[in-house]
Amino acid sequence: MRRRPRSFCLRTPEPRGASEQGMGTTAETTLALRPLGSSDLRLTAIGFGAWAIGGGDWEFAWGAQEDTNSVRAIERALDLGLNWIDTAAIYGLGHSEEVVARALQASPHTPYVFTKCSMRWNPGDRTIYRALNRRSVREECEDSLRRLRRDTIDLYQVHWPNPESEIEEGWETLAQLQAEGKVRYLGVSNFSVAQMKRVQPIAPITASQPPYSLINAKVEDEVLPFCLENNIGVINYSPMASGLLTGKMTAERIAGMPEDDWRKRSANFKEPKLSRNLRLAALLGEIGQGHGVNAGVVAIAWTLHHPAVTAAIVGARDPGQVDGIMPAMTFRLSEAEYARISDWVRANPA
Ligand SMILES: NC(=O)c1ccc[n+]([C@@H]2O[C@H](COP(=O)([O-])OP(=O)(O)OC[C@H]3O[C@@H](n4cnc5c(N)ncnc54)[C@H](OP(=O)(O)O)[C@@H]3O)[C@@H](O)[C@H]2O)c1
């Protein structure tokens, strides 16, 4: 396997109160920056995932969410040195992008902002559909720029390769938007190797955004080796399995989730898988305890151990959750700890 590209370092001042939150007690914290594929983007090891902060009342919502909490969560993450945000037009049907813009409006920080296209909605009944034709992608890009209040998107990603017959047309349109300066770099999400091979000759893929966690590690077989081999950056999503591996999830919490929290419908949050997944979270918590970090941080670190992974996208809904996950910026597992977790997963298949 090829080694991880050279890291860069960012010296970032420690914000007030950070030492109480487990970010260390020195005056400065050193954060390694990682190049995203062949681009000039340099990412912190974790980025802020803005799905849940899209708010409630749509097909893939996470229940209700206060915008003030979302804005404070983003502010806190940026104050602690995180330098990129991942959102999508579909999160909250445009609302997540608006919240990101609100958080950045008066911010002293200038994080990279990544968003996505291909999932659209009917404004009337809020039903979702997929489109990657030229007209649709252009319209989506303009809408995202307007909601984000920006002139350019740092990484524009095709959210899902659907409709599959339109992926070449969609990718060509992304390349045109890049030539026009509306987007800086192009990414795919949820693409197979065969689908990446279809678009690669049209324009280079800077990054791939696959699901990758201890609960869903399927991309280890083909997608991650392909990205490593082709210098395509990887920003993996749901590294804590959408909250399942934080150490705070319980069967009681799931039972009490609102009807518009998509996790209520997910097999991973139901028996027979749930008990096994919570036992895994307990193991991560036990390992984390020895280092003063929570189970979620260990789950994220397990994904960052793979040499193809550039950085992990981590969701948070308030500043307290941000404080809980920020140690993942620097925390790394020893080889023995990594092997212990991987062995447990092999011995306890889902
Ligand atoms: N491209 C795609 O198709 C795709 C798909 C999924 C995700 N993504 C991206 O990846 C990002 C991250 O994935 P994700 O949001 O699914 O999951 P995740 O990062 O694995 O988990 C995030 C969730 O964990 C809980 N949490 C976070 N910090 C916590 C803490 N300190 N203590 C306790 N609970 C905590 C929160 O949910 P609760 O408090 O509600 O439990 C939070 O929303 C998304 O926001 C999105 O940007 C992309």
DSSP assignments along 116-141, one per residue: EESEEE-TTT--EEE--SHHHHHHHH
Q: Report which of 53, 93, 45 is spatially closest to residue 75, judged by C-alpha positions.
A: 53
User: Where does the pLDDT of residue 30 fall: very low under 50, low under 70, confident under 90, or very high at 90 and above?
Assistant: low
Our answer to whether residue 91 is catalytic in this structure is: yes
Q: Are 215 and 241 in contact (CB under 8 A)?
A: yes
Model pTM?
Answer: 0.93
* DSSP classification of residue 93: T
Phi, psi of 348 (to 5 degrees): -130, 70
Q: Report which of 273, 267, 290 is spatially closest to residue 337, judged by C-alpha positions.
A: 290
- 35-57 pLDDT, tens per residue? 999 999 999 999 999 999 999 99
Interval between CA 49 and ligand 1 midpoint (Å): 6
Whether 117 has a pLDDT exceeding 60, the answer reads yes
* Pocket of ligand 1 contains residue 52 by CB under 6 Å: yes
Interval between CA 62 and ligand 1 midpoint (Å): 10
Beta-bridge partner residues of 29: 12
Alpha carbon distance 160, 87 (integer Å):
14
Domain 8-347 has CATH 3.30.70.1290: no
Q: Are 53 and 317 in contact (CB under 8 A)?
A: yes
**Mean pLDDT along residues 87-115:** 98
Whether 296 has a pLDDT exceeding 70, the answer reads yes
For ligand 1, pick from 144, 237, 244 the residue to mutate: most ligand atoms within 8 Å of CB: 237
